[in-house]
Each structure stands twice: as structure tokens, then as C-alpha cells.
Amino acid sequence: MRFGVFYELSVPRPWTAESERTVYLNALEQVRVADEMGFHSVWAVEHHFLEEYSHSSAPELFLTACAMQTKQIRVGHGIVICVPE
């Protein structure tokens, strides 16, 4: 069995100027620990215009930071929003 972590990066109220940054820094630390513990993968989703639910409009940036700071964990995009023509 393989284990992974999944992020939507919620930022509940009340917000401060540092709230979003803190959520991202905490998530990156969790991913580093997951990598050290042998977790297989980390996933992130893309959401827009959801104030508290998900602050993740460009998860490829978060996943790139995860890849830069880990050695073996795999990264994956959970949801990709496609704009219809």
C-alpha cells in the first residue's frame, strides 16, 4: 500500500496579512516530513474564487516548491481547470 498527502490549502477566517503564507509554509514542511517518512505522493488541486475553502489558483507552483525541497516523493495535479472556448 502506498500513502500520499492531498492539499486544498484552506485558509479559514479570521485572516491576517500572513495567513496565506503561513498555510503554504506549513504545507511545505508537512511535505518534507512526508518525504522523509517514505510517503509516495503529494497532490494539490486548482480552485478559484473560494475565499476560505481553497487558496490554490496555481498548484503547479506549490508542487514545484515541493519537488525542489524533497528527494523521492512524487507530485501530482488533482484537478486542472480548463477554460471552455
Give the start-to-end residue ranges of the domains of the chain: 4-79
Other CB atoms within 10 Å distance of the CB of residue 26: 11
pLDDT of residue 81: 78
Residue 9 in grid coordinates: 490549502
pLDDT of residue 56: 86
Residue 6 in grid coordinates: 492531498
pLDDT of residue 85: 67
The residue type of 82 is C
Q: Which residues of the chain have pLDDT under 70?
A: 85
Which ranges of 5-75 would DSSP assign to H, the alpha helix? Answer: 19-36, 59-68
